[in-house]
Amino acid sequence: MTEPVTLLDALDRAVEVLAGHRLAVLTGAGVSTDSGIPDYRGPGSPPRNPMTYGQFVGDPAFRRHYWARNHVGWTHVRRAQPNAGHRALAAMEARGVVGGLITQNVDGLHGDAGSRRVIDLHGRFDRVVCLQCGADTPRAELAHRLEALNPGFAESVGSVADVEIAPDADAVIESTADFVVAPCERCGGMLKPDIVYFGENVPKDRVARAYAMVDDAGALLVAGSSLTVMSGLRFVRHAAKAGRPVVIINRGQTRGDPLATVRVDAGTSPTLVTLAQTLPTPA
């Protein structure tokens, strides 16, 4: 069980616990907030009701609404840049401190920062897949098609800075009734962002690779995740059951706190920078 300690004590304890281990890292939306991408459940986040997989595939109105919002949100998220926390994790990987990274985020910022061993647990917002023929295309290509089908739509709802953006590149806007959705260019089928929706399962092979990454590490570091959903919590449970130390860095409580060896209630960027500067390269 985690004992209440000061931030400085928690940081010292985290370094003590992690030193000498090659780490597996699990990241959530809290890692990307300093890049301007809000999280779902952090302190101060507004209530959100993300669209489910069933709604997306089963209701044309929901699907149209999603793509209209995503068309606006895409512009914002694709411009986001890695922050100090992303760069600190990449630097630790380059030194051999981090052996691999599992991210619940879909923004691709870990790769942009230089991390190489990344498992995108919930997919990536910059890819689009056809649910009928399986064609995989860049989201940037779809952006041009959506703009041609809906000229001036993004501008009509105001500047991106004035629109609330969600972590999956969704944007909260009101009027989407006239938005035209693009079909697959190959077969005319239904296009879906290549991300795991609420109510949809993470592909089994991806989960297996993530478990293997945890098994190959000496300790698990969790950064910026409330661990509310089982998708991420299972790796904390797996590590704890195997007797591996678990360090959690997050603002506010997490569902994994009872399993944590050390819990650091702080922002991820400065804490990860401190760890990158402090942790030695494993022998």
Tell me which of 3.20.20.60, 3.40.30.10, 3.40.50.1220, 3.40.718.10 is the CATH number of domain 1-37+83-122+202-283.
Answer: 3.40.50.1220
d(CA 228, CA 114) in angstroms, rounded, equals 28
Choosing from 21, 71, 86, 122, the catalytic residue is 122
Domain boundaries, given as residue ranges, for the chain: 1-37+83-122+202-283, 44-79+125-195
Residue 70 has pLDDT above 80, yes or no: yes
Closest by CA position to 238, among listed 207, 269, 268, 262:
207
pLDDT-derived band at 280, boundaries 50, 70, 90: very high
pLDDT in tens, 176-223: 778 999 999 999 999 999 999 888 899 999 999 999 999 999 999 999
Give the side-chain half-sphere CA count within 13 A for 211: 13
pLDDT at 47: 47
Task: Count the neighbouring beta carbons within 10 Å of the beta carbon of residue 68.
Answer: 25
122 catalytic per annotation? yes
Question: What sign results for the dihedral spanned by CA atoms 54, 57, 61, 65?
Answer: positive
Q: What are phi and psi of 111, to 5 degrees?
A: -65, -40
Give the model's pLDDT for residue 172: 53
Query: What pTM was computed for the model?
Result: 0.88
What does the block give as tokens for 65?
A: 């609404």
